[in-house]
Amino acid sequence: MKKLLFIPLIVFACSTSGEEKADNRPSEWPGSWKAEWETPPESYPEVSDMEFYMNGSFVFTEDSLTVTANGYPECIFNVDTLSHTQSWYVSNDTLFLVNEPNTPGMTYRVASKSPERIRLQLMEDIFVTLTK
């Protein structure tokens, strides 16, 4: 039996004031980034006939982020393509997504970053690599 790991684009997290958010958007992040989600197969030993990666994009503007995840059959993350636009900010080593004004969304730990590559961690064993 196939098990599908559905990663919703909306997860609750802590939030800070809107004023702080506006000041914490790195100027080098806006633009279109290719995204690849991945998780190690060892994290799901009961699943053997699924793919453990998914492609998509992160498109940052000064005040919004559109995340597109290109799901497909046999993908452990999702079989459907999902797209969601929200606001964003970075604080310390965390990228925060905000769905509605002051409504927290997903959070990613910034594992590493350079002008051409950002490595994000979602949960314990899910990673997203962004490349220009």
pTM, two decimals, is: 0.81
In 3D space, the residue among 38, 42, 70 whose CA is nearest the CA of residue 52 turns out to be 38
pLDDT at residue 59 above 80?
A: yes
Supply 91's token pair: 């604080």
Kindly report the CA angle at 14 between 10 and 15, in degrees rounded to 5? 95
User: What pLDDT digit, counting tens, does each position of 31-42 carry?
Assistant: 999 999 999 999
Give residue limits of the domains in the chain: 18-127
Q: State the Cα–Cα distance between residues 122 and 132, nearest whole angstrom.
A: 20
Phi and psi at 19, nearest 5°, equal -65, -45
Q: What is the three-class DSSP state of 90?
A: strand
CATH fit for domain 18-127, picks 3.10.129.10, 3.30.70.1560, 3.40.50.720, 2.40.128.300: 2.40.128.300
Number of C-beta neighbours around residue 98 at 10 A: 21
Cα angle 110-73-96, degrees, rounded to a multiple of 5: 20
Confidence band for 19, pLDDT divided at 50, 70 and 90: very low
pLDDT of residue 78: 93
